[in-house]
Structure formats: C-alpha cells, structure tokens
Amino acid sequence: MNESDRELSAMVQELWDNDVNRLKPGKDYRISLQGKAGDTMLAYDGSDGAASPLFIFVDENIFKKETFLAFISLLDNYESDTGEPEVVTPEEEAENHKFLDAIVETQTMKIVHRYLVQKQLSPQNTKDFKQQLYRIWFELYARKGSSRPDSSGFEHVFVGETRGGRTVIGFHNWIQLYLQEKLGHIDYKGYSVNANSPQPDEEKHILALQFSWKNGIKPKGSIFIGVSPEFEFALYTLCFLTSPNERVKVSFSVYELEIVCHHYNQKHIGTTYPVLVKYLTN
C-alpha cells in the first residue's frame, strides 16, 4: 500500500467509526445469501442460484431517520432507461437540495469536508461545498450512445439504469435493492465469487451479487449493505476528489477493498462501487 492509500484508509476508517446510522447485521436486518450465481454469460439464460429474496427483514424504523428519509425520496425521481432524457422538476431539485442539506450535517460528511478543505479540493463555505456536491452527483450528462442529458452520478450509482432494456447498469445501493425487491421488481439470483475473491458472509457489510431488475439483468454487481447514505456519499466523494485513479485501495475495519470510481469529464461521477479484495484478520 502506498502512502496516499494509507492516508485514504485512515480517513475511511474515521468515516466508518463515525457512521452512527449504520445498521447491525442480524439485528437491524438479515439477508439470505443462498446459492452462488451462475456465470455472468449465462445470466441472461434465466439461471438462478437463489429461490428466495436476498432480504429476510429490514427494520424500517431506520428509514425514518432524516438522511434515510431524504435519500429514499430521491429514488423515484428518475427514468431508468438510458437514452430517455431526464426532466428535473422544481420539486425534484428541492428534494436533491434537501438531501444534501441533511447529509452535510452528519459527522461523516463533516469529516470529509474538513479533509477536502485541508487538501484544497473543496471550498470551506458549506453552501459552496453543497454546490460542488450537486455538480458531482446531480448535474445531468449524456451517457454513452445518447445525445441528450439522460443520466447523473446519483442516478447511476444509487438508483440504477437500464441499457437497451436488457442490461442493468449502475445500481450499487442496498436501500434501493431492498425497496425494489419488496415491490417485486428485483429477483436476486445469488452471490458472485471468483477464484480470488473471499466467500461472502451474511454478517459482513459488502456483497457481490447477481439480480434482475424489471426486465434487465445485472450479471454482477457489488454493494455495501447496511451502511448509511451519508457514509457512501462521503466515501465516494472522497475517492472522486482525491484520486485520479479509477481504482483506489482502502483498508478499514475488517475489509480490504478497491473503490472503483470512473470520472465523467472530470466533473461528474460516471460510476463508483466497492470491490471486496479480502477480509482482514486481527
């Protein structure tokens, strides 16, 4: 691990330690991993390694917390098909700002803001910082193959999109996964592992998986489970602004991860998600 990775890991550990709204596996929620998903090439052939849903239960009282409430209100504001231009209504714009207002008040976002100011990567003024976050996450841009603004970092990462009706792209958030599964729009098809990745664990906060959403397939996705919206927002913003690399190595708690972060025009998040490298032993 190089010096910048070590420094980033220390920051992420601090975010983790201050994520007071994180759910506890087995207490606040329970998942059922079931079988291993089929090969990504076979995903479109209807193979299924899980007969039951991924989530057994989630204590939905957690969703009444301010940041969760503000986050969930954003999930229905998007047109999932890439190529379909997004129209942001004044109400939706207000919801975006309400979400940012809620998260910048959390300890995790305050820690990240302080660090980014110190590194001269973000403005000190909170209002200006929120404008920077808005640009990174909510400003629309045209995704590949589209001539009109049809996507944003937030939509891609947290809500999910479909390409050509058959393939799910993005969709790296457990709250959206849980809510869509509850509505019957998600069919969990099992966990994903390759020769080098560790076995998933129902008590851990990260999972690689395969699922279908609406009529599309996500052959392999990777998500945090049970973390708060502010933790993910803080972590991904941190990686986006501090590292020009598309893969950033971080170690914290019991996890060694790579955070994949693709920039779009250096101004917006194209995609970002965690990849489990290994579990750390004490």
Mean pLDDT of 146-158: 84
Mean pLDDT of 58-75: 96
The answer on pLDDT for 158 being more than 90 is yes
**pLDDT value of residue 137:** 96
Exposed/middle/buried for residue 227 (C-beta within 10 Å: 0-12, 13-18, 19+): buried
**pLDDT value of residue 41:** 60
Question: What is the overall mean pLDDT for the chain?
Answer: 90
What is the rounded distance in angstroms from the CA atom of residue 46 to the CA atom of residue 52?
15
The β-bridge relationship of strands 255-264 and 247-252 is antiparallel
Q: Is 189 tagged catalytic?
A: no
Q: Which residue has the higher pLDDT, 103 or 77?
A: 103
Between CA 54 and CA 60, with CA 57 as vertex, the angle to 5 degrees is 125
**pLDDT value of residue 222:** 96
Structure tokens at 56: 């057994």
**pLDDT value of residue 215:** 84
In tens, the pLDDT along 223-233 reads 999 999 999 99
The answer on pLDDT for 250 being more than 70 is yes
| H-helix or E-strand spanning residue 135 | helix 126-137
pTM for the whole structure: 0.94
Q: Which residue has the higher pLDDT, 101 or 49?
A: 101
In tens, the pLDDT along 81-97 reads 655 666 778 888 899 99
pLDDT band at 147 (very low <50, low <70, confident <90, very high): low
| H-helix or E-strand spanning residue 177 | helix 174-182
Structure tokens at 84: 């379909």
In tens, the pLDDT along 179-188 reads 999 999 999 9
Find the range with the poorest average confidence among 38-47, 65-74, 243-252. 38-47
Q: Is 185 tagged catalytic?
A: no
What is the rounded distance in angstroms from the CA atom of residue 228 to the CA atom of residue 270?
21
Of 218, 249, 263, 268, catalytic: 218
Of 156, 189, 205, 263, catalytic: 156
Q: In what order do the strands lie in the sheet with 268-279?
A: 247-252, 255-264, 268-279
The answer on pLDDT for 43 being more than 60 is no
Sign of CA dihedral 256, 275, 175, 32: negative
Q: Is 218 tagged catalytic?
A: yes
How far from chain centre, in Å, is Cα 62?
A: 18
**pLDDT value of residue 9:** 96
Give the DSSP per-residue string, 1-64: --HHHHHHHHHHHHHHHT-TTPPPBTTTEEE---SBPPPGGGGGGT--S-SS-SEEEE-GGGGG
